[in-house]
Each structure stands twice: as structure tokens, then as C-alpha cells.
Amino acid sequence: MELTDKRRSLLMELQYNFPITKRPFLDVAKRLGEDENWVLSETRSLISNGVIKRIGALVNYRSRGLVSALIGVKVPNELIDEVAKAINSDPQVSHNFVREHPRYNVWFVTKARSKEELIMKVSNTLSRFGINDLVVLTALRTYKIDVKFDLISGVSRTKSMILPLNVPPIESTGLPMEFFRKLRAISIEREPFNEIASLANTDIDGLRKLINNLMRVGVIRDFYATLDSDKVGFRENAMVVFKATPEICERAALIEETTHVVLREVTLGSWPYNCYFMIHGINKDVLEDAITNIMKRLGINEYETLYSIRNLLPEMPRRLELTNM
């Protein structure tokens, strides 16, 4: 699907300025100088062509009482596909990539009810292949998760509030789970929030305040249109790792180009870094320039950049939908 200038402008609005109003697509249309029917038609087309994955907000895994870890594994090249299949059989695995690193070449993220449960299931999976060279990096503090693509600059750009350290359980909201299911992917129609508002026993103004509050306390993530990176030309991404104080790691999250900013601890294995962020771009030159600038701003001289080589979990978007509910 060709991304014309008008479609790019629409995608930018849907990512960065989606309104929680009675007729959000009309409001988007007014800002773009377009007709509401055109916005609705184009949005549906972008979804059907896989450019837009959904418009909505996912539940923060911490509100469900889960712990998360990034696992790096040394996998023989000839076993990568077989090992990846076994790793992906865990429904809580949400990312799985081959990345450039001299020791650990497979990196995946999974969740569990406790660190002990997480280590046990990972060890059980990998031991089937005689693999015991791994590092488990448990998330101590997640500062930022969401990913947005700046279609003008060609690099990821997300200005999100810092996620709180302590997130209340989703049950404490008193809202039905159907509310959160509907909220993660709204219908593309003139008044998409009516049913969601009724599930919360409120009107649209009340819903907007409720969503803002749920984001503020960290129960849900940002509300926006999630795009397919490849289909909007963002074919490169990298994981940047370095040693930092919690304050510096938090500062990394305040830099708009970073995504998935997490402070981690080594739960198993040996690893020198505790801060991690992702960055996405249209090519490596753009990423290199952005990373150099970011690390200079943070005052960090020693770091590693692990570029993604292959996505081992092609159904990742759908998996993310399921693991967040």
C-alpha cells in the first residue's frame, strides 16, 4: 500500500494526537482539513492492509501482577529455528529476535507470576537442547514501553509520561475486563467510544478523564494507533545496553527517540549492563546518528548496540494483544 503524503499525515495524527471525544475521526479530519468519511475510509483501509495494527491502549503487565525478563541465549546457528519454536510455545513470550552480539545471539522477553517460575520455565525449555549459556535480566523498573514512528524524521519518537514504579492491580479499578478488551482496539466508526463509556457507566467526558487517570497510574499504556514497522518503512531496530544509575536510565526514557526503556537486574548469568532501550529507524545511518546523540546527552561513553537480524516471532503483534490481557 502506497503511503502518500496525505496518508502519512493521517498516520501521524492517529499516532500522536488521537482524541478521546464523541466523534474522534471527525476531530482528526478537521485538523487535517479533510472529510470525516475520508478519514474513516482511509483508516479502515490502512487497517485492512496491515499498516495499522489497532487503535487503542494495552494493559500494563505489572497491573496483572506479572514479572518480566529479557533473556539472552547462546544458540548454535543450526538450532536457532528449532529453539525459537520451543521458546515461542510459551504464550507469555512477546518478543524473540536474533540480534548482533558476540556471545548471545537470541534474545526474547517473557513474563511469569514470579522470578522463580520464570527461570524454571526458561531453563526447562533450553535444557531440552543442552543449552545452558544464558543471561536472565529481570525488569526492576519499566519507564517507557510504547513505540511510535515519526514518518517525517525516519526514527522512533515517543513522548510518554514515565510509568509509575508501583502500579495498582487491574482488579482495583472496579472495571469489567470487557472494558479493557474493548479499549485495546476500538471500532473504526463515527462514535467508537459509546459502548466503552457505557461499560464504565460514564459519558464520553468521563471516559476521557478515566482513560487519562488509568494511564497516569500505569494500569494502561498510551492510547494511539499502533503501526506495523515494516509497512511504514522502519526496517531497522536496535537494542542499546549500558551501565547507569536509575536516574540516568529514567533520563533515557525522557528522550523521545527511545522506546522500551527498562532498568534491569541480573537474575541469572553474568552481564555488565543494567539499563536498556530500543530504537527504530528507516536505516542504520539514521539509527547510528540518533544513538550517538542520545548517549552523548546521557554522558555515557561505554555501551553496546545490538541490531536485530531476524524476527523469530512473526506473530508478535497478535501475541502482544493476547499477553496483555
Residue ranges of domains in the chain: 1-49, 62-158+230-311
What nine digits make up the cell of 228?
506495523
Q: What does the pLDDT read at residue 129?
A: 97
Mean pLDDT (whole number) for 251-273: 97
Predicted model pTM: 0.92
Query: At residue 200, what are phi and psi to the nearest 5 degrees?
Result: -100, 5
Does pLDDT of 317 surpass 70?
Answer: no
**Residues with Cβ < 8 Å from 195, sequence gap 6 or more?**
182
**Beta bridge partners of residue 237, listed in sequence order:** 280
CATH architecture of the domain covering 62-158+230-311: 2-Layer Sandwich (3.30)
Q: What does the pLDDT read at residue 6?
A: 97
Distance (Å, whole) CA 195 – CA 192: 7
What nine digits make up the cell of 60?
500494563
| Lowest mean pLDDT, pick from 39-43, 138-142, 156-160 | 156-160
Average pLDDT of every residue of the chain: 95
